[in-house]
């Protein structure tokens, strides 16, 4: 008796790989957002520290891009809102004021809330590309 393996089509293998990456990204979202939150707390403690502010902005920017890449447009949208606020701080060329920090905190909370929803959502299908 001869055994024949059923081979997956290359397209099916690619879809399976993308779906696996999307699920992994969803599982990692809470930690990614926790890192943003830690950096934000550091900024609140030392708002004049430009290096920490830049690290925070880069992390948020990375979330914005990776969210879209892995099929999480809501993550990209919320991260983009926070990034816009952080960039506004830079253009103001000074330490963020209490109102600025409070606004950024509300944007970060919205991002964290969305990340929590996404981490808990089942991922059965390949994410649609976002352009």
* Mean pLDDT confidence for 112-126: 78
Taking the mean position of all CA atoms in its chain, how far away is CA 118? 10
Q: What is the 3-state secondary structure (H, E, C) of 73-97?
A: HHHHHHHHHHHHHHHHHHHHCCCCC
State pLDDT tens for residues 24-74.
Answer: 999 999 999 999 999 999 999 999 999 999 999 999 999 999 999 998 999
* Mean pLDDT confidence for 14-27: 86
* Mean pLDDT confidence for 124-128: 53
User: Residue ranges per domain, the chain?
Assistant: 30-120
Asked if the 30-120 domain carries CATH number 3.30.40.230, the reply is: no
State pLDDT tens for residues 68-118.
Answer: 999 899 999 999 999 999 999 988 888 899 999 999 999 999 999 999 988
């Amino acid at each position: 008796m001869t055994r024949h393996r059923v081979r997956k089509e290359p397209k099916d293998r690619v879809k399976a790989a993308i779906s696996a990456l999307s699920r992994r990204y969803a599982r990692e979202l809470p930690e990614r957002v926790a890192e943003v939150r830690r950096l934000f707390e550091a900024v609140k403690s030392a708002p004049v520290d430009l290096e920490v502010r830049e690290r925070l902005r880069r992390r948020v920017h990375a979330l914005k891009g990776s969210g879209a890449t892995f099929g999480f447009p809501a993550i990209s949208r919320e991260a983009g809102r926070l990034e816009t606020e952080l960039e506004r701080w830079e253009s103001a060329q000074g330490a963020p004021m209490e109102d600025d920090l409070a606004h950024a905190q509300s944007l970060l909370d919205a991002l964290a809330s969305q990340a929590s929803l996404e981490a808990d959502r089942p991922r059965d299908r390949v994410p649609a590309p976002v352009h």
